């Protein structure tokens, strides 16, 4: 019975994410634009994840060259930041550093770990794509997170991307 209940919750989450993605794709989501302190949003997003970060032996390095106030939908940008942070945590090896930077109108998050091959970089923003990082963590999500992030960033007209670095993978978005 507990397995059925657990699977029901997972299915419910997936259906809700699919509906959200559909709304974003057709432009039916009502964005509530307001001035947001991006630095504060990152700090707020990190706070509830401290236990998971500590359990994995990870360290977060957050730096910014100034305080950035952006025009955006608060809830949707919170979703973007949360998704990037959770992905970085799940795809980091134990006892590594996750670097979060906001500099020159660009947010970036880099985790040390496996690089993405060209196939992964091509499909990573598509719905239901789950990259394999050599652990069971990649199976935990629905495969919709980065597709939703992509649609949110497109709606805000923010450029975004992913790239391999010398030590891992860096996700980023530029804002105005």
Q: Report pLDDT digits (tens) over 16-44.
A: 777 776 777 777 778 899 999 999 999 99
Angle between helices 2-25 and 145-155 (to 10 degrees): 20
* Separation between Cα atoms, residue 65 and residue 102, nearest integer Å: 7
Question: What residues have CB less than 8 Å from 119, skipping those under 6 apart?
Answer: none
Q: Report pLDDT digits (tens) over 83-123.
A: 999 999 999 988 899 999 999 999 999 998 888 888 888 88
* Separation between Cα atoms, residue 4 and residue 162, nearest integer Å: 36
């Amino acid at each position: 019975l507990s397995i059925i209940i657990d699977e029901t919750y997972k299915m419910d989450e997936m259906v809700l994410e699919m509906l959200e993605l559909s709304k974003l794709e057709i432009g039916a989501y009502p964005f509530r634009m307001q001035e947001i302190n991006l630095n504060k949003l990152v700090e707020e997003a990190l706070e509830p994840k401290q236990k998971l970060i500590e359990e994995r032996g990870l360290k977060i390095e957050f730096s910014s060259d100034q305080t950035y106030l952006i025009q955006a939908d608060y809830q949707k940008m919170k979703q973007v930041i949360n998704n990037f942070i959770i992905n970085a945590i799940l795809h980091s090896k134990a006892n590594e550093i996750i670097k979060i930077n906001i500099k020159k109108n660009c947010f970036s998050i880099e985790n040390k770990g496996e690089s993405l091959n060209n196939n992964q970089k091509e499909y990573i923003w598509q719905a239901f794509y789950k990259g394999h990082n050599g652990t069971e963590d990649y199976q935990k999500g629905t495969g919709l997170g980065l597709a939703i992030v992509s649609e949110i960033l497109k709606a805000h007209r923010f450029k975004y991307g992913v790239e391999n670095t010398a030590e891992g993978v860096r996700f980023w978005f530029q804002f105005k």
